[in-house]
Amino acid sequence: MVDMVDIKVGYTCNNDCFHCVIADKRRGLIREGKSTDRTIEEIMDHIKDAINQKAETVVLTGGEITIRREFFQILDFAAKNVSHINLQTNGRMFFYDEYVNKVISYPNVNATIAIHSCKPKVHEWITGAKGSFEQTIQGIKNLIKAGMKNRIGGKIVISKLNMDHISDIVQMCNDIGLKSINIAFPHAMGNAKLNFYDCIPKYSEIADEIIKTTKLSIKLGMHIDWEAIPLCFLKGYETFASELIMVEHAVLKDLTHTDQNYTKARQTTAKRKGPQCKECRCNNICEGVWDDYEEGYDVSELKPYPMKGPNDYIADPREFESFKLRQVPLFKRNINTIVSNKI
């Protein structure tokens, strides 16, 4: 049994984001004259595999799944056979009522919608798509109005283009009725790798904005969580790290490969730490930074939590003061289990 299967249905998208992690794979397939999308039969087979594996959640993502001709055929089959479906989308198609009306008819479908700025020009600079800001924001409003408020969340990918106003984006999300936002540090793959120094900030450049945004979310009563932010940049708010609430066993089905245990691969291979992390109290509970961060920056800015004696490692999120502010479920994986191969 697995907790979650993440199925990428294809790479076709109506946005072309500055930080898009699959853009290079899409370009590669186009260069080779191959399709950038799975066939409907392949997608259905992957959903059937997830059903056979008794997956609790199936994530349907792309590219942009909502622009596929067979979108509702896929959604209908998945929603009728899996307990929870999470659609990862830019939300633009929910500008249209017929899309909203069909999606809300599935009570087990949640949506995570990407919003990259509260400033239309910045959002559209990032998405590369004129009109995308209005469509995404109106799409969110339409879903909320139709009754999906508790089943949609926002997703902000941090970049140099929005790093100075993340708190303003969270404020706007609150104002339009969103109650939950995941804020992710960019993975230096695809376009983000191509645009490395224009796209990816140093953690020290966003340190103040992380704390300011977290404090604002508490004031607003919003749920936010931070993805790929090492715990030393969440001091006082460590339990706002999304790695502490991610599922234990995720399967990733990308077009190029399948990872049968993405959670393990992320913790041990896709993330890395610095040599100083060995002396940090959080070493057994912190995943560190994306491995590819070090292609552009060194990790000397990671600051260990001092140990009071030998082996004084934090073994459980309840030891953080912030557990009183934000409780996280106590899974096996966040209790003394995280060991990066790259330290």
| Chain contacts with ligand SF4 (rule: CB under 6 A) | 230-232, 273, 276-277, 280, 282-283, 286, 288, 302-305
Q: What is the dihedral of CA 216, 220, 223, 229, to 10 degrees?
A: 0
Shortest Å, Cβ 61 to ligand SF4 = 28
Shortest Å, Cβ 231 to ligand SF4 = 4
Comparing CB distances to ligand SF4, the nearer of 204 and 256 is 204
Task: Say if CB 128 and CB 174 are below 8 A apart.
Answer: no
Summarize the chain as % helix, strand, coil (round to 5).
45, 15, 40
Comparing CB distances to ligand SF4, the nearer of 103 and 338 is 338
What is the H or E stretch that residue 122 is in? helix 120-127
CA distance 218 to 239: 13
Shortest Å, Cβ 283 to ligand SF4 = 5
Shortest Å, Cβ 82 to ligand SF4 = 34
Shortest Å, Cβ 144 to ligand SF4 = 36
Other CB atoms within 10 A of residue 240 CB: 26
Q: Which amino acid is at 242?
A: S
Q: Which of 298, 191, 294, 185 lies closest to 243, judged by CA?
A: 185
Comparing CB distances to ligand SF4, the nearer of 161 and 244 is 244
3-state secondary structure of 36: coil
Comparing CB distances to ligand SF4, the nearer of 10 and 230 is 230
Comparing CB distances to ligand SF4, the nearer of 19 and 281 is 281
